[in-house]
Each structure stands twice: as structure tokens, then as C-alpha cells.
Structure 1
Amino acid sequence: MICKHRRYLMYISQNYSYAILRPIQNYILAQGGEVCWFLEGDEVNPDYLSPEEIELSSIDDVISWNPDAVFVPGNVVPHFIPGVKVGVFHGFNSGKRDNSRGHFDIRGFFDLYCTQGPNTTEEFQRLATKHGFFNVVETGWSNLDPMYRAIENNPYLSSEDARPTILFCSTFTPKLSCADTVFETVKRLSEKGNWRWLVQFHPKMENTIVEKYKSIQGSNLQFVETDNVIPLLRAADVMLCDTSSVLIMFLLLNRPVVTFRNRSPSDYLINVTKVNEIEEALSLAISKPDKTMSAIREYAEQVHPYRDGISSVRVVEATNKLIEQGTGNLKRKPLNLFRKFKIRKKLGYWKL
């Protein structure tokens, strides 16, 4: 399955999508293919593009470039862009929403879903049989490829600081986020100085909360804004979180997570419901209790069993296979008139 002479579009609308798609880009370029980027909306920062990466600034440019495939770490993609549409996911199924509205919501735009592991593949294959207008291939998640490789000069590691490192992450969803609720506790624990704290939030987090955490930065706590969370994950010993899907990435490193009022508490998490339970739970997590660690390993096999760092290769191979076979064996996608109208309105593109 070759990439040479083929064109692949990276279609993104959030900054975290850069890290998801760059491993795919790297493999394509190494195989002689071409890659361009299209940045949708004002929530994605073009400054994160490297000098070598090529941005197509308009839909007309995209259509003229005529990609063979479009990779999307999101839920929708313009149907009028050429190429097979490949969904690669923007995160794991963290249980924030019911299946019909969350990870397994089929919007009717994709020809191929590249799933992350058995616990998502099984459901998507069932949906593929039901709907008939897309294929499913289990590839692993490209975003994790760098996580299984050594990181040179990780800026969040300190050889001079032997204290355990706590990474605090939180979702932006108001009903699920613990960031505001646990602020005073995090502040107090950081001031004690027993642990080193790294804090990183979803880019949509409310700005007032972001500023609160920035205000308590010091020798024990660092607030980080980044499009690539993997160096942070690799630098931490324990995570404090709520129901953000980033906690799953941390579990896949075989490291414990303390959750605050998690929507789907499980034996692979150390879940608490009161702020005065957080300190003791973090101390327990640092000790890596056998029962919790065993549950984490079992869970990881279902979520993402691939630790070879080449999920991006499998994604591209599955995509190239679909390009070569074509989509003639698939049913016609649903009309999706309202969603298509919303996409056109957002992009300001009305050409047929």
C-alpha cells in the first residue's frame, strides 16, 4: 500500500489535532506522499504549523489540490471535499455522554473509521453492519505513537527534583469539570511542597479558571498550555483528573489515576467524591497498589493493545487499501441536509 504520488489532507479545527495527525503525516512523507493542512475556524492556531508544513487557506484551494484522502480527528467533514473521509478520533471514549451522543455517534460523513482497540472496534463494526456506508479497521490511535518512544530533552522532567510528579488535567465541560471545585485543594497541596505539580487543561477551558491556576504557579506548580500533552504524560507519576479522556492515555502508560467524581468509576481508577479525600488518594496512587495496577493492565488491553508506536502506519495502510478498492461496495451516505448546511454556513462556501 504505497503513498507515493498520493495526496492526503489533514483537516483540523482544534489545536490538539496537530499531535494526532503528525505521526500520520510523518509516515506519509517518508513514503513519498504529499500532505497539506486545512484549518477550520478560529479555535485552531495556525502558528502551531511548522515552517515545513503546507496550509491550504481556502476550500477552493483544497478542491483544486484534489486530495486522495482526508484525515479528520473530529465528528464532521465537508462532503464536497474530494477524497475518502477517514475518522481517526480526537480522544478515547471516556463515558462523558451516552453512546448515541458521544464516541459512537455516527454523523454520516466518513468512509472509514480507524478504531483504537477492541472496546471501540466491536461497537463500530456493529454500527457498520447496521448502516452499511462505512468501513471499520482497528489500527490503534496515531496520537499515541510518540508516547511509546523515548522523548529527548523532555522539558517537564527534572533530574534534580526527585519528588513525585502529579499531573492535573480536567475537561472543559462544566458539569463534569472538577477544576474549579478542587482549586483550593490543589493550591494547598502544592504549597506543602511534597509533590511537584503540572497542570494542563482542555483548550476550551473557561478562561477565568485558567487564570486562577496560572496565579498559583511557583517552584511546586507549573501551568502548561500546549498542543501536545504526551511529554506531560511521560513526565508524571500520577494523574489527578475528572472524566476527561486524557486519563485513558495516562492509564496506557501503566500509571495510576485519581479521579474526582468520575462519571464511570471503575476498579482501574482511584475515584473520590470529596475534596478532603484527594490527598490520601494521591498518596495511595503513588504507592501503586497491586489491585489497581492489575486492573489498569486489563483495561489497557481492551482500550489500546498496541504499544509498538506504529498505529499511524496501520491507519495509512487501511486508508490506501480503501483508496485502491474504492467505496463502490458501500451504501450511499444519508442526505444529512441540515448538517451539510451548517458546514457550508460555517465555512461560507456555497458552490456546488
Structure 2
Amino acid sequence: MSINLPSHVFAGSPLTSKSSNPGNPFSPTAGLETIKASLSDNKQSACSSNFKVLLFNCGRPLASSISVSVDSPPVWNLGWISLDDLIRLLESTGVQLSGDQFVYLGSRADDNVVYWAIDVSAERSLVPLLRSKQFCFVELRTLMVATDWADLQAMGNLAIAGHARALLEWHNLSRFCGHCGEKTLPIDAGRRKQCSNESCKKKIYPRVDPVVIMLVIDRENDRALLSKQSRFIPRMWSCLAGFIEPGESLEEAVRRETWEETGIEVGEVAYHSSQPWPVGPSSMPYQLMIGFFACAKSLEINVDKKELEDAKWHSRENV
């Protein structure tokens, strides 16, 4: 069984990291120095016109929409702002940003543009000004649903936004060293952090929380087990999912989570594919969904009401 998509949502980012060679003006380190110089002088440099920035507010990326026709839904686009335009916005509002707040995302193979992200949640004065320019901050889940999944460019932009959100939320959660408790500082253009304590200097790297997500199948009756949480909208059902516990394999996590939440015993477990998932809670913004098919050995459902509102077998036609 397969999915007719080049890649899953939030996967397949078109950005790659340029060389870290200091002589390359588009490398992460050299690019960050350009940003710092531009911010301090409030003027553009030779390379700043090649820099684009994606602003985030409380985990929501900046976006804009256009209406193709009265009968069709709006088409959403990420609200990329050139570094020069961002500097002009800062001048008009009096907002001051530090170069160390910028996070390097990478460059496309077919252009010389360097892409960055920054969290401006604390800068409330920027919101009305951006709104006047037809921009707004939109939930990443909303963009996920509104994106045409057949549009490869739109899917690539969604992957970029997911990567950016995960990095920015990681920065918010890793402000202090887990070893000595001192403050951490961004390094490598925001892709790493380091403890500020000279006797520690522990380097901290972004990590992902692995999550198993499984379609539990009743082969004999051609049905799938889907669950519903209380926060879901009407008629919305989902695959079972859960975090992997220390000391267990992926297959064991699939079997345990299915048993704990629905009382269904699982036998054969087959890997399907994986997917970055940057739209989880802000406390866990960088998950990796690892997908499986799981064959049921029992059929009687016993729902754990602390975890789920309901779980039912659904026929192929019903789905």
C-alpha cells in the first residue's frame, strides 16, 4: 500500500545549507554577520537584498491569501519579507531586534536567496502594521489543510514553515543548560545552542520526539480502527498514536499504545513511512511521526476514556 504523494506534509523541504566557508557570503555564519551589520546600521548591505525572513508569532507563521474566484477558497502563501523591508518596518515602529534572534533555514539550489526565521511574539506593535499590508499570522495546521497537496512549490513552503517553527520553539524551550542551569546562547546561526557558563560550555542540539502512529487493520472484515478525541471537530477521526517509552522498540510501542487505548491486541506490525510533525503542542514542537500498519488479533474494543472519547471499526466505504 502506498500514498500518491512525492512526500508527506512537512517533509521534502527544498532548502539546503550552504557551505560554512567564511568566504561564502551566503553561509550561515557570514549571513548572520550581514544581518547584524544591517540591523546595527539600519541600512542594506551588499547581500541583504538576497535575504528573506519568515516572521512567527506564538508559533504561527506570517502569511497572506489571494482569492482566485468567488467560488473557490483562498490560496495561502507564506509571508516572506526581505531583510531590507523588515529593517524599514522596524524603523517605522521603533522595534529593535537582535541578530542572534534570527535562525538560519538554508537556500534553494536554484537561487541565491538565503532564508531565515525569527520569533516576534514579544513585538506586538508589528502586528497592526503587518495587517495593514495584508499579512496575518496563521496557525500552521490551518495552512496544512488549506494547502493544495498537489502543488509541489506550496508543499515545499509548508515544509520550510514546519522546520522554522520547530527550530524557533526549540529555542524557546532550551533557554537554560540542562547540565548546570546557566543560560544558553545561540551559535551556528541559530542551529545550535551553547551554555554560557565558561566551565561548562555544553553544546545543545535540536532533537525530535519520536511518535508511533498506526492504522490498525481488521484484515478479515476489511476494516480500520480509528479513534476520536474530545477536542476533535464533528466527524473527525484519527489513527491511534503515542510516544515511545524508554527501553521499547517501535513495534512494541505500536502494540502497547493500541492495547492501552482500545484494548485491541496487535500482531504483525509493518512500517509505512515517516513524517516531520511540527504542529504538536509548543512543549513538544519537533516530533517525528513514524507510521505503521498494525494487524489486529482481537476485535472487541475497550476504550480508555482518559485518552480517547471513542474508538470504532470503520469500513473502507465508511472512511
Name the TM-score, length of structure 1 as normaliser: 0.24
Per residue, is there more strand in 1 or in 2? 2
Per residue, is there more helix in 1 or in 2? 1
The structure with the larger Rg is: 2
